[in-house]
Structure 1
Amino acid sequence: MKNIILTAILLFAVSGGVHAQTVYTIDSGDKLRITVFDEESLSGDFSVGADGSVTLPLIGTVTLRDLTPQAAQQTIANVLADGYLRHPVVSIDVLHFRPVYIIGEVNEPGEYGYASGMNVLNAVALGGGYTYRADQDDIIIMRGRDDNRVEIQANEQSIVLPGDIIHITERYF
């Protein structure tokens, strides 16, 4: 059993841990619909600020950066339960994901809207397809914020997350 746990920890560390994640987490630029059931005055649409937080009625600023929507629901419910509501039930829907960016050897590099389930090939299609110089076997996804961005070797089927920067490199021959 100890060997299994040690192996799991080593795989987590080698893979880059949280940075190489393929699970959506909330960050600045996202727009959320937060619903507190039976409390219309506490519900609404909220933009996640540059610091990764939202400001909610009654409870003020709550940091949601790097949380999944499910974890954010629980975080908000916990704050509401701490002296505000007896048994709060919170729901979060993502109304607008932060964009993805595609750079390098595509016909129309730039910023594009994220769609759930997007992969690199979908993003390349949004960017007008590969240029004749594109190295389709050398694709890099830059994931994370500037303070913790990591580069991930990718292929056309690699999953893209909101905020990713996809770099299609140039072939030399």
Structure 2
Amino acid sequence: MVLRRGLLAAFPALLSGCASWQAPGFHLPKLPPAPPGPYRLGPGDALNLRVFDQAQMSGSYHVDDGGNIDLPLLGLVQAGGLSTDALAKSIASQLQARQLILHPSVAVEIATYRPFYTLGEVTTPGPYPYRPGMTVLTAISIAGGFTYRAETAYVGVTRTIGSKAAQYRAPTTAMVLPGDVITVFERRF
């Protein structure tokens, strides 16, 4: 009888512990929408640059860890955070300001986007090439799909906004950006 009373007294405490339990990643803030406007370059992007009538400056370049590209005649040029159009205008104005080319015509296009990454309960975690218009579900499919233990309703997305990286909770319909780290949580039974 004493044992039964002890269990009955402990039962509400056990239930209150269950009420405060949340699935992994559920406590994360919701993923904000992708910033409007054109794509912003960042470390890991590969670019094709063409300067009209200047074969020595035209070619393929990679944005380095500092967000720069190293151009002949100009040296390091800031590319991180700029759109391709803004980078082309910046290069043209620097060439003109240094009086290297009187009326430069510059074109910049993205050859390869920086990769996105998958972690956790996916068949093959790792880095994968980004494609514009990808959703989280598309990214998980590229990584081989969910494992049988995966939480399939939402994921964690680590994204750098400005200069700060933070982790957010996102549905599988959310848009992926280059450099995102997608974490698929383990489902709790």
TM-score bracket for this pair, using the shorter chain length: 0.7 to 0.9
Which residues of structure 2 form unaligned runs of 5+? Answer: 1-29
Letter in 2 for 1:42: M
Look up the SS of the partner of 1:122 in the other structure. helix
Instruction: Name 1:136's counterpart in structure 2.
Output: 152
Asked if 1:79 corresponds to 2:94, the answer is yes
Q: TM-score, normalised by structure 1?
A: 0.82
- Compared with structure 1, are the counterparts of its residues 24 and 94 closer, same or farther at alpha carbon in structure 2 (3 Å cutoff)? same
Is the radius of gyration larger for structure 1 or structure 2? Answer: 2
- Percent identity over the alignment is 36
Aligned length: 158
Deviation string 1:105-142 (CA, Å, 9 cap, x unpaired) is 11111111111222111111111111122112221211
Task: Report the 3-state secondary structure (helix = DSSP H, G, I; strand = E; otherwise coil) of the residue aligned with 1:40.
Answer: coil
Which residue of the partner structure matches residue 38 of structure 1? 53
Q: Distance between the aligned counterparts of 1:56 and 1:128, measured in 2?
A: 39
- By how many angstroms is 1:16 displaced? 9.3
Q: Closer, same or farther in 2 for the Cα pair 1:76/1:163, shift >3 Å? A: same
Which blocks of at least 5 consecutive residues in structure 1 are unaligned? 1-14
Deviates more, 1:43-52 or 1:22-31: 22-31
> After the TM superposition, which parts of structure 1 deviate over 3 Å for at least 4 consecutive aligned residues?
none
Structure 2 length as normaliser, TM-score?
A: 0.75
Q: Offset at 1:79?
A: 0.9
DSSP-derived class of the 1:41 partner = coil
1:57-72 alignment runs, 5 A limit: 57-72=72-87
1:48 to 55, 60, 63: 63
Return the letter of the residue paired with 2:41.
I
**Corresponding residue of 1:11:** none
Superposition pairs for residues 102-121 of structure 1, below 5 Å? 102-121=118-137
Distance 1:84 1:64 in 2: 20
